[in-house]
Structure 1
Amino acid sequence: MADQLYLSLWFPNFRFETLPATMVSVMRQFALISGEKRVTAASVYPISFTEAPTYQRIYVNDDRAEENQDTSGSIIENAVAEATEQLHDDMAYEFEMRWKLWSPEVASGYPDINPESDPDYDVDPEYESATLDPLWKLQPATVRILGFGPKFDDASFDQNGHIRIDFGLDTPWLAETLEDEQLNEDATKHIQQNVEMLLAFTLSVEKNCGISSRLLWTESGEPLAQKLIDRLQRVN
């Protein structure tokens, strides 16, 4: 079953007023690994995530973004500065960025024919259930980078980290949408490439952002590494 994947970061002697600069540092590492240097959305939540955002901005990052000064707000430093202009210790600051991960597209072997338009067409049940080998493509995926005020959600940063990265579902690293028999050499290669992206970002943050500790974890509590090992062992 798909599971939410997170990376929590803690910093030594952390002072809340340094949160904007610390977030910029982490987001720069993500941009370095992903090649995507702009923020796609920013939100500020008061007290807890059950409250409506007090600030929200969606950025349009198209081909004009590199040339048009009107889109300069999506540059990491600018987006963080604007969202954190009012820095309150009971708020959480969320920034969305994107990277591209390999994802399978599974096509059915069933012919593209509408049975209602051809009632005499008969389909072999074995052919009807057949599937083609998945076609792997690089697809954009959203990553949310959050910085927590010390009083947000009853000081949940103790568990969540001063900064938490939400990767979304762990599907890109496990390919759970595929049947075991579809997890062939090509699929294994692309899963490995996704894992390498995740590890590269994690190690880059560890090396360059001055963290004191980090934790890669899933909502279920089951380690991603163990889930990946179990997945691959089923087909090897």
Structure 2
Amino acid sequence: MDLLQALRTRYATKAYDAARRIPEETVKQLLEALRCSPSSVNAQPWHFIVADDEAGKQRMAKATPDSGSLAYNRSKILQASHVVALCARDGLPASYLEEVLNREEQDGRYADQAAREGFAAARAGYVQQHVDAGDVAHWNQKQVYLAQGFLLLSAGLLGVDATPIEGFLPEAFSEEFGLKEKGLTPLVLVSLGYHSDRDANAKAPKSRLAPEVLFSKA
């Protein structure tokens, strides 16, 4: 599938075929798309929880009770093939930045120690700006939504249906997975799989504002 076709045909799936499972090779590509997503100063301020079986999906679905205003999202979690929870790091401590730096060096990003130290200082400076402004958590959360975009686009290109879900109880989700103790905040769940015949949204035409409304020349 080419890029424009994927963009024009992907949509938020409302009902999944529980009998269909995403091939493992395709799952690997989707997770790699998340891992390769861009982030400011390559801070990678995120963590992803993957539910790939019934037990995992049941744990995630605890954040969408059987009754109440969020119950409509429960089936999108339980009937999907896979579900990914995208979490943001609450902070960027020096120990975590050092871990990122070590990985960058391992991957060959630095020609020498001076290059390593120079980028480390530059990144620490950007982080400190947000520490001083008191918005590190918010900055991190914005990066996570970049990763969500990469996941949704990659799913579309691979012919996988997806649903971004913010309608869940983050406190319940955090408690279930012990996220507060890990310094993580759950932001959005993304269900992945293949739509069922019950999904009316699959046949609805895509609607976007006209280019002349959305774009202007500088």
Q: Scaled by the length of structure 1, what TM-score is found?
A: 0.31
Q: Greater helix share, 1 or 2?
A: 2
Q: If the length of structure 2 is used for normalisation, what is the TM-score?
A: 0.33
**Greater strand share, 1 or 2?**
1
Q: Which has the larger radius of gyration?
A: 1
Structure with larger RCO (C-alpha < 8 A, sep 6+): 2
